[in-house]
Structure 1
Amino acid sequence: MTGEGGAFDLLDPVLGHHIVNSLGWRSLRPLQEQAVGPLLTGEDAVLLAPTAGGKTEAAVFPLLTRAERHGWQGTSLLYVCPLRALLNNLLARLETYTGWLGRTAAVWHGDVATGRRRRMLTERPDVLLTTPESLEAMLVSVHVDHRAFLSGLHCVVVDEVHAFAGDDRGWHLLAVLERVQRIAGRPLQRVGLSATVGNPGELLAWLQGSGHGRRPARVVAPETAIPPGAAAPDSPPGGTPDAAPDIELDYVGSLGNAATVIAALHRGEKRLVFCESRRAVEELGEQLRLRGVTTFLSHASLSVAERRRAEAAFAEARDCVIVSTSTLELGIDVGDLDRVIQLDAPATVASFLQRLGRTGRRPGTTRNCLFLAVSDEGFLAAAALLLQWSRGWVEPVAPPPEPRHIVAQQLLALCLQEHRVGDALWAEWWHGLGPFEPRTAAPVVRHLVEQGYLDRDGDLLFIGPEAERRFGHRHFMNLTAVFTAPPEFTVLNGRTEIGRTDPDLLTEEVEGPRKLLLAGRSWLVTYIDFRRRRCFVEPAEGGGRAKWSSFGSTRIHSSALTRAARDVLLGTDPPVRLTRRARAALAEARAVRAGTVDPAGTVITRRADGEVRWWTWAGHRANATLAASLPTAVSVHHRVDDCWVRLRADVTPTLWRTAVADAAERLCLPEIDERAVKGLKFADALPASLARATLAQRMADPEGARRALAEPVSFTQAEAEG
């Protein structure tokens, strides 16, 4: 087998032999062909392809060839994933590939037994699969000689890099990689694997961290010129790469109706249903089981054992359904799927592409997705998303600005790692990475010292009493995770852990027996151990309830998707199959919201109850920016959503023109609720003003606000739909 330009012949001959004879591949996929050259020469790269596009092999084959060619010893390659389940899923493949060359691969995360981790310290694997949190736990652990263990590193692969870059885990990952790079004593080649994103060049620049502009880098994306709605050229051999995906939108109106449709359609097929909340997963799972459908569940509050049992059983079954949150959106293998079903809409086009890519992998099959809208809002969101997808648009990945709380966390973690750090030398650990430049991070360092998080001995910094008090329990484990999770109770049936539930379900008043819904089954609560945050349950016949709270749980749609919803209401249909019910729902939505959209600009309406709304259709962040920038016109309640801003009841066209002129000259950052600040982990390790400023900058969309201010506005007395 030879590839275009001889790329296959550049791989290690032993690898080449097994690719042909063990995997049975007749050719490399285009992405794999094009990745060989740059990765063999040590370039940083982002490899871009849809789900099942062969990204793992595109990275690993040339990097293992480099390892053989240059005689790398010990742990030379890090493979970082956002999910433990994804690591577990990849391990067998990487053990196979490394085994062909007489090398080894191993996984290290919190679920791996202590004995196995100890063996890895003495018998270092060539490829180490881990999460950023586990990598940092290694750096701060007194049981790991991280300098010896990581001294042989040469490269790092970041799987699902777009999933990291869009939130604070990305900044955490970059900061940890800079520290690891300093320990290794050499620049690490960085390779990101990503699904389709709108700005791959910027994603690559971000992944390079301090190496941006200093190291050669390229985006490898054979299918870049193909719109997201079209088939990718590196679809699995034997599939139908030229077939357009089969997308249908239906309106069913309730979760119970969705269960009825799923139970009646596609019998004999293996179906993956995505829901946008854990509660919806539980309720739909129960409804499907009541209708005799073989059903499995997966979400983050189910125990690891419960999820693994469900995923294994689903992979082996045929006529069945697995209901999941985004936990199965990424590349975890659950076998050959026949169909993906989406309740309402995911928050992003990128998520939809990930989910769509779970299908169409077998010969003779086509990628497909059935949207079942269970609410009016969900229906409009689905129509808008499908319209944007059809236009070839995908969200750009934007790292959150000003990660000052991550700077605070990293400074504390570095002092744990090194025990004592020079007051003038700490910045060298991050090699000039933006958020850690001294002028940016110095106020954070001062605050940490002043508040006792760090102590000072001459020119040396070390962990202080306040950090010990707040984060010191369980060997500072809480310091390695960058998210604040609401407290949950562990649910046990005997000694078997079922999962975790919201404490409100265990404390609120109820009439009759207290029942939970978890793992798609009802449970009777028999005992609650409040001190140890555990509750014990027994199986029950129906009546259970599911609930979870989370900080920042409100879904915020982008300006582009909100604008697409406006286009739908103005008459543009998403170019997918619409059922009869969907067409009726579309007509109803346009009739009900007719007074809120105007092709010439934005609309200000007065409802029957006197409430005045400015329908910007600009997105939540733009509207929050506008609310802060129009103090003389906006209601004191400052309520906004994706589509509108609440104005004062006495606003007049004259007052409005004056307010808009003032706002156009000086936009303000949104006001931040103190509850939101408390939800920002490590916010207490920042000055209060910096914590609020961090969130305000993240909630702002000045460009979207300016666009809305520049559009003509029409005043109408028509009552707007609430």
Structure 2
Amino acid sequence: MDDLSPVLVHHIVNTLGWPALRPLQREAVGPVMGGSDALLLAPTAGGKTEAAVFPLLSAMERERWTGLSVLYVCPIKALLNNLLPRLETYCGWVGRRVGLWHGDVTSSRRRALLRDRPDILLTTPESLEAMLVSVNVDHRTVFSGLRAIVVDEVHAFAGDDRGWHLLAVLERLSRVAGRPIQRVGLSATVGNPEELMEWLQGSSRGSRPRAVVAPDVVGTPVLPPPGEIELDYVGSVANAAKVIAALHRGEKRLVFCDSRQLVEELGAALRARDVTTFLSHASLSVDERRRAEEAFASGRDCVIVSTSTLELGIDVGDLDRVIQINAPSSVASFLQRLGRTGRRAGSVRNCLFLALDLDSLVEAAALLLLWGRGYVEPVLAPPEPRHIVAQQVLGLALQENKIGRGLWAQSWNGLAPFDRSAEPIVAHLVNEGFLERDGEFLFIGPEAEARFGRRHFMGMTAVFTAPPEFTVISGRQEIGRTDPMLLTEAVEGPRVLLLAGRSWKVTWIDWKRRRCFVEPSDLRGKARWYSPGLSGASYALTRACREVLLGADPPVSLTRRATAHLAEAREDALPTVHPGGTVVRRTDHDLRWYTWAGFRTNAVLASTLGSLADESQRIDDVWIRLAPETAVGAFRTATSAAHLVLPHVDEEALRGLKFSEALPRRLALTTLATRFADLPHAEAVLEEPVRFLVDR
């Protein structure tokens, strides 16, 4: 601790009672205090926040930084709220202040922060964008002293368009501040840490020192003791509730589901069994989630059922058990959830998987098979973010009021694709009226005003599309939000919703203001949310499913039910799996090519096969339906001499690509097609032997 601020060291030892720093915290001091960009990796609850903040507070004191000098960015507001008290304590030890700025912070509080700027600001990328474009924020004064940014859960940003948006905003901030900004990323285990570090550096890659600090995640993973990771088959939500109610009584249990609908259904089933149950998901009101999380944190014999909202390190107190319904989408997600347990001395990390059907049982076993081998998915930024380029150019025009026709690209310091390669996009924005040209300057145009100008261009600050939802209100209390489809579908009798684990009878709908008024009901309610866009399993996970069906078992405990149903799944899959390659199987009903290659790979292969693939099919992770008349010779010819073709994308899918209307239609469709494609694995599948089977 010798390099840290002496005052900070005093409080670390005497107030926190730490005899020493953890390995990650110790090894992070040198590079972070030295001004290097850094990626700090540790399991959940591994002390990453302190590993970043303690050296930055020490550098702040040593170098006498003034004004707002550090940004701390998180992907969700709840995590910022959760961090605020802890960082207020740390900053207070050395006479510094921390502030909070996001969409739920009142305008009066924001004005106070602008008048008296804190040393550290907790915020989101969307709020940073809003500050840059707001006429009420003098961004050059506010960010003039900016020195560093901490990006918490950086992997959650890097894997989607919010990552591109964050990188672009950071480049603009460095121009406003007039200096490079030190970047410190915090992450759980990822499969490609060096590449993630390089991504985070943005335009500074290759020109600034960097360090990946990961003392706790290198080498062979340490698996929990036998029996602490268990896989069971329950077959239904009702049976899952029965098992959860019966097991681990007196303990705090966190149950993860990967859909809001499943959270609601399981929560209601648990309450019907008199289990003290709380719920957390994105469509519940902020107050409803906060009440549930606070009650769960202070409780003992209780359950909280959640989507991934509680995956990202939000503190809900000491947990005894994590239970996973079906399987999470990735090994990385499982590691995050597993890390919520085993934090107390003498406790171990644990997780119980409860599969609701055979497919989910196989997928959970496959994910655990990959985890047991130490596999973690690489974090890859979505390719060709042309729509984010369009958004950023418009955002820059709002920020600066006018931008030079020949100088706009300098604002991103040469970071591709926000560099000169974006000139066709800028030309399209001018031609379509999103930008107006006056001599050598560009201004926001009437088309941008019409499409994005509502509420002072607030829609411009977020790069994700939120589906329209109705606010559900009981009396004066907001319960959450529901899908409008539930309010329009035909029903017999009263319309009853399931939200926050309780049933609500709809009494009145305000269609214009998108509000739904309800009262409690004893009738059985219904929950559903529409999830736009295409999705599916990865190549690695789908191939692991094939391994499980061929007989591989994960290194965890399997209940007798799980073992019996895995045997059933393996028997059913015999005609579709082959260890030496893929299988084409003809039955009385159809002709299918079982690739076991994942959604994006199969999307490419189906498009590449052209007329040999059934044009009406929806892409599946496991198989591609072929045209019934396809002959073996034609199939072999098509696959042996194939030139890979990007998947066809329906124009309806563009609704899920925000700002696609600011792109030429061809570029927007190509952007989506590229994102739905896994070309390397498609090429690998084409090189594999194919076994042909005909059911007699």
**TM-score, normalised via structure 1 length:** 0.95
| 2:604 corresponds to | 625
Aligned pairs for 1:166-315 (under 5 A) are 166-230=159-223, 246-315=228-297
Structure 1 position 27, deviation (Å): 1.1
Contact 1:245–1:366 (8 Å) recurs in 2:
no
| 2:391 corresponds to | 409
Aligned pairs for 1:266-415 (under 5 A) are 266-415=248-397
Structure 1 position 247, deviation (Å): 0.3
Gaps (5+ residues) in structure 2? none
Structure 1 position 434, deviation (Å): 1.0
- Decide which moves more: 502-511 or 354-363: 502-511
Aligned pairs for 1:574-653 (under 5 A) are 574-609=554-589, 611-653=590-632
Letter in 2 for 1:65: S
Per-residue Cα deviation, 1:184-236 (whole angstroms, up to 9, x for no partner): 100000000000000000000000000000100010000233334537xxxxx
Contact 2:403–2:442 (8 Å) recurs in 1:
yes
| 1:110 corresponds to | 103
| 2:455 corresponds to | 474
| 1:529 corresponds to | 510
Per-residue Cα deviation, 1:247-285 (whole angstroms, up to 9, x for no partner): 000000001100000000000000000001000000000
Structure 1 position 244, deviation (Å): 6.9
Structure 1 position 533, deviation (Å): 0.4
**TM-score, normalised via structure 2 length:** 0.99
* SS, match of residue 24 in structure 1: coil
Verify: 1:509 aligned to 2:490, yes or no: yes
Structure 1 position 396, deviation (Å): 0.1
Per-residue Cα deviation, 1:285-314 (whole angstroms, up to 9, x for no partner): 000000000000000000000000000000
* SS, match of residue 231 in structure 2: strand
Aligned pairs for 1:481-560 (under 5 A) are 481-552=462-533, 554-560=534-540
| 2:543 corresponds to | 563
Contact 2:264–2:279 (8 Å) recurs in 1:
yes
* SS, match of residue 480 in structure 2: strand
Contact 2:358–2:566 (8 Å) recurs in 1:
no
CA distance in 2, matches of 1:374, 1:612: 28
CA distance in 2, matches of 1:205, 1:294: 46
* SS, match of residue 374 in structure 2: coil
* SS, match of residue 314 in structure 2: coil
Structure 1 position 639, deviation (Å): 3.6
Structure 1 position 122, deviation (Å): 1.1
CA distance in 2, matches of 1:638, 1:464: 42
Match of 1:119 among 112, 118, 135: 112
Contact 1:19–1:25 (8 Å) recurs in 2:
yes
CA distance in 1, matches of 2:211, 2:453: 42
Gaps (5+ residues) in structure 1? 1-7, 232-242
CA distance in 2, matches of 1:474, 1:457: 26
Structure 1 position 678, deviation (Å): 1.9
Letter in 2 for 1:667: L
Letter in 2 for 1:191: V
Aligned pairs for 1:426-437 (under 5 A) are 426-437=408-419
CA distance in 2, matches of 1:627, 1:163: 30
Contact 2:226–2:557 (8 Å) recurs in 1:
no
Taking structure 1 as reference, are residues 645 and 229 closer, same or farther at Cα in structure 2, changes over 3 Å only? farther
Structure 1 position 551, deviation (Å): 1.2
* SS, match of residue 365 in structure 2: helix
Letter in 2 for 1:348: S
* SS, match of residue 669 in structure 1: coil
* SS, match of residue 620 in structure 2: coil
Contact 2:227–2:557 (8 Å) recurs in 1:
no
Structure 1 position 375, deviation (Å): 1.4
Per-residue Cα deviation, 1:166-193 (whole angstroms, up to 9, x for no partner): 0000000000011011101000000000
CA distance in 2, matches of 1:454, 1:97: 46
CA distance in 2, matches of 1:659, 1:616: 15
* SS, match of residue 646 in structure 1: strand
| 2:126 corresponds to | 133
Contact 1:228–1:353 (8 Å) recurs in 2:
no
Letter in 1 for 2:243: V
* SS, match of residue 369 in structure 2: helix
Taking structure 1 as reference, are residues 408 and 244 closer, same or farther at Cα in structure 2, changes over 3 Å only? farther
Letter in 2 for 1:219: V
Structure 1 position 718, deviation (Å): 3.1
Match of 1:460 among 435, 441, 457: 441
Contact 1:632–1:659 (8 Å) recurs in 2:
no
| Number of equivalent positions | 696
Match of 1:657 among 618, 627, 636: 636
| 2:687 corresponds to | 710
CA distance in 1, matches of 2:116, 2:223: 46
Letter in 2 for 1:682: F
| 1:234 corresponds to | none
CA distance in 2, matches of 1:278, 1:85: 17
Letter in 2 for 1:457: D
CA distance in 2, matches of 1:324, 1:632: 44
CA distance in 2, matches of 1:284, 1:218: 44
CA distance in 1, matches of 2:223, 2:154: 23
Contact 2:68–2:117 (8 Å) recurs in 1:
yes
Letter in 2 for 1:85: A
Contact 2:223–2:372 (8 Å) recurs in 1:
no
* SS, match of residue 485 in structure 1: coil
CA distance in 1, matches of 2:357, 2:177: 53
Per-residue Cα deviation, 1:98-118 (whole angstroms, up to 9, x for no partner): 100100001100111111111
Structure 1 position 477, deviation (Å): 0.6
Verify: 1:154 aligned to 2:147, yes or no: yes
